[in-house]
Structure 1
Amino acid sequence: MSEKVLVAGVGMIQFAKPGASQSYIEMGAEATRRALADAGIAYDLVQQAFAGYVYGDSTCGQTALYEVGMTGIPIVNVNNNCSTGSTALYLARQAIATGDADCVLALGFEQMQAGALKSHWDDRPVTRARFVPIMHGLTADLAHLPQALRTFGGAGREHMQRYGTRMETFAAVRAKASRHAANNPLALFRKQMTTEDVMNDTVLMPGVMTRLMACPPTCGGAAAILVSEKFAKKHGLRTDVQIVAQSLTTDPPASFDPPSMLNYVGTHMTRSAANSVYEKAGIGPEDIDVCELHDCFAHNEVICYESLGFCPEGGAEKFVSDGDNTYGGKVVVNPSGGLLSKGHPLGATGLAQCYELTHQLRGTADQRQVQGAKLALQHNLGLGGACVVTLYGRN
């Protein structure tokens, strides 16, 4: 039998631009302290920890957590590209659900460098090396662009060609993110902008993307304390937020054959993970009240509306124009401001999403609050690949 998994505490620090943040040690330790304080427990009650980061040496997790305490517990370092934080959360949930532990910390942090994402290894094959020629072939005219921009820009362009999606739709999604972030004191960018402001920004891909449609490199940390129901009752902890269902998927063959940039950026992984979660929980996408999804580019948010089942394939533009992605619509997407406005420190992103959705279900999200939220969906994507979809509910 599976143990019920509760979110007893969450913590997050304000994200910052590279060069303006504390070290990963300080960010990871502070996020952990805040999660512990939110849960109302001391570190010595934590039985296991999973620490996620992408850019760092081995055992960075221990290095950060030793600043909080040295209790001899298992600490496992996690790296799953941009889905690292949610993968740490997945492992923490699994430890409790199987009865292996009763109180587990999931931590994510990232101390990033300025500029486009890049590998720091040049003496070995890159990840996805077997499949990179597919992307190169489909986006040969974009060879001058950084790989992440080329990848997601290429997927956005394919969506435009296939379904007639306009560039203005991506700009509207970015403008929506800015309106949501204006109410989030922990967001990196809080200035509101219009669709026109986004359209008039520096062009990165003519007719497809401006600079504002891409998330910025960011530094930050976030953490969650997961507990079993019996542990919560024993220690008098809150029991109001539960992880109802969760799924972690990797690429199927259809991600690469037939060649398609939409498939290349993880639509099959997302659809499979989401459908698994809906099935486990006995619900459908129409039941979701609020969602934090992986909007590394405005284009990916639009693509994910369809992969998560919020609208039919090809229906994302109508979903946006009808206002179904914000307050008063079908599902409030990225009330935090998302990666586009809140920032995207790779290892911390999944746990920052957990932080936001936990507060939404508690009813403590202040001006960002989605009234009456009962079911919250989290989507965190890492190419390479891994996709984690998590469903939270009010317990």
Structure 2
Amino acid sequence: MQNEVLVAGVGMTPFKKPGDNLPYPEMASQSIYQALQDAGLAYADVQEVYAGYVMGDSTCGQRAAYDVGMTGIPIVNVNNNCASGSTALYLARKAVASGAADCVLAVGFEQMPRGALQSPWNDRTDPLERFDKVVDEVFGHPELTSAIRYFAAAGKEHMERYGTALETFAKIRAKASRHASRNPLALFRREITPEEVLSAPAIVPGVLTRLMACPPTCGAAAALLVSRDFAEKHGLDPHVRILAQALTTDRPNVFEDQSAISVVGYGMSRDAARQVYETSGIDPKDVDVCELHDCFAQNELLSYEALGFCAEGEGEAFALAGNNTYGGAVVVNPSGGLLSKGHPLGATGLAQCYELTHQLRGTAEARQVENARIALQHNGGLGGATVVTLFGRTY
């Protein structure tokens, strides 16, 4: 038997462009204070902390948490590429579910530099070298940074295999902007049209424009997870619980398939989604709202298929039918997603948790999904790690 895990409190800072942000300790501590206030708890109640980030020295988690309190509790730093925040959430959930702790904080933050992402390590083995080799062979464009060429290659492969049009990716990007226009914490809140997306500067002509890629962003988010016994003892009544969760890594086919779609984590997403559906007994058709990893518009479409919202090859039809927005089958990224809300790497997974918690509580204001009861979170990191979390309303 595992303890029931409840989301007692969440917090999130507005996402900002690099250079327009506070230092990471201030962003992180702000989100922690918000989560504590939201839960009605003090930092002294927290028994463990898991801190997710990518771009920073070791023990940045301690530096951030120490501004809130220094109580001697374990603080664990988590780096799992773009899935770092959701991996922190995964570890916090396991601690509560196992009975090792009753009140655990997960926090994610990122202070990113301007411009395209570059690794600071050039004197050792690149963890993505085997992925690079596959993309070299199936796509080329070594002049591009890894993430851009991986997802451009995956989008091109889907276009060639299933006849998906570039215009469909543009419509997905425009949908993200419509959703973000209702989110005061999003980085980009101006609505844009598919035509604007298509006319933006091409990164890979005919495959990817600049507006189809998420922007570098700074920010922080946090979540407090508690057991049912802890909640009752402290007079808390959280309305959101974690129904199931899975963290997956790549299988050998990621290098054997000669497929960019495999390289960007399609298999990890599919495996993680299957695990949570099987564990919970929930069907993909039961999901009301989803925050998924739309680092590129191309990956949002791939994720519709990997998460079981439609069959393989039917992502374009799913999007064109409006099944990814209000009034459709599942509202995808009501926050605006990574494309419009922004993508501060370590914060993204916990920002998704923030959004879905408010959706299930019915407190998402202008972006509220009507009668949302089941929510799915999907957060992936190249190299690779993917976390899928299924949330349910408790009332």
Structure-2 separation of matches of 1:84 and 1:390: 14
Q: How does 1:329-344 map to 2 (within 5 A)?
A: 329-344=328-343
Amino acid in structure 1 at the alignment position of 2:107: L
CA-CA distance at 1:198 after TM superposition: 0.7
Alignment of 1:184 onto 2:183: yes
Structure-2 separation of matches of 1:258 and 1:175: 32
Residue 379 (structure 2) aligns with? 380
Structure-2 separation of matches of 1:295 and 1:131: 20
Residue 208 (structure 2) aligns with? 209
Alignment of 1:112 onto 2:105: no
Structure-2 separation of matches of 1:153 and 1:44: 47
Q: How does 1:69-108 map to 2 (within 5 A)?
A: 69-108=69-108
CA-CA distance at 1:236 after TM superposition: 1.2
CA-CA distance at 1:130 after TM superposition: 3.0
Amino acid in structure 2 at the alignment position of 1:190: R
RMSD: 0.7
List per-residue Cα deviations over 1:26-55 (Å, max 9, x = no partner). 111111001001001110000000001001
Residue 153 (structure 1) aligns with? 152
Residue 18 (structure 2) aligns with? 18
List per-residue Cα deviations over 1:215-261 (Å, max 9, x = no partner). 00000000000000010111111221000000000001112212100
CA-CA distance at 1:62 after TM superposition: 0.3
Please give the secondary structure, in 2, of the residue aligned with 1:244. strand
Residue 127 (structure 2) aligns with? 127
Amino acid in structure 2 at the alignment position of 1:57: D
Residue 220 (structure 1) aligns with? 219
Amino acid in structure 2 at the alignment position of 1:151: Y
Residue 301 (structure 1) aligns with? 300
Between the two proteins, the alignment pairs up a number of residues equal to 394
Moved over 4 A (4+): none
Residue 315 (structure 1) aligns with? 314
Residue segments in structure 2 that go unaligned for 5+ positions in a row: none
CA-CA distance at 1:128 after TM superposition: 2.5
Q: How does 1:154-169 map to 2 (within 5 A)?
A: 154-169=153-168
Residue 238 (structure 1) aligns with? 237
Kindly indicate whether the alpha-carbon contact (under 8 Å) linking 1:229 and 1:239 is maintained by their aligned counterparts in 2: no
Q: How does 1:213-292 map to 2 (within 5 A)?
A: 213-292=212-291
Kindly indicate whether the alpha-carbon contact (under 8 Å) linking 2:377 and 2:388 is maintained by their aligned counterparts in 1: yes
Amino acid in structure 2 at the alignment position of 1:168: E
Residue 48 (structure 2) aligns with? 48
Structure-2 separation of matches of 1:18 and 1:128: 25
List per-residue Cα deviations over 1:358-378 (Å, max 9, x = no partner). 000000000100001000000
Structure-1 separation of matches of 2:335 and 2:51: 23
Structure-2 separation of matches of 1:352 and 1:261: 27
- Mean Cα deviation higher: 144-153 or 291-300: 144-153
Q: Percent identity, aligned pairs only?
A: 64
TM-score, normalising length: structure 1: 0.99
List per-residue Cα deviations over 1:168-192 (Å, max 9, x = no partner). 0000000000000000000000000
List per-residue Cα deviations over 1:316-366 (Å, max 9, x = no partner). 111011000000000000000000000000000000000000000000000
Please give the secondary structure, in 2, of the residue aligned with 1:7. strand
Residue 357 (structure 1) aligns with? 356
Residue 27 (structure 2) aligns with? 27
Structure-2 separation of matches of 1:150 and 1:182: 29
Structure-1 separation of matches of 2:333 and 2:273: 17
CA-CA distance at 1:144 after TM superposition: 2.2
Amino acid in structure 1 at the alignment position of 2:56: G
Structure-2 separation of matches of 1:316 and 1:345: 26
Residue segments in structure 1 that go unaligned for 5+ positions in a row: none
Kindly indicate whether the alpha-carbon contact (under 8 Å) linking 1:49 and 1:105 is maintained by their aligned counterparts in 2: yes
Structure-2 separation of matches of 1:377 and 1:388: 10
CA-CA distance at 1:266 after TM superposition: 0.5
CA-CA distance at 1:205 after TM superposition: 1.1
Structure-2 separation of matches of 1:298 and 1:339: 9
Distance change (3 Å), C-alpha of 1:147 and 1:128: closer
Please give the secondary structure, in 2, of the residue aligned with 1:97. helix
Structure-1 separation of matches of 2:299 and 2:133: 21
Please give the secondary structure, in 2, of the residue aligned with 1:279. helix
Kindly indicate whether the alpha-carbon contact (under 8 Å) linking 2:132 and 2:146 is maintained by their aligned counterparts in 1: no
Amino acid in structure 2 at the alignment position of 1:372: N
Amino acid in structure 1 at the alignment position of 2:22: Q
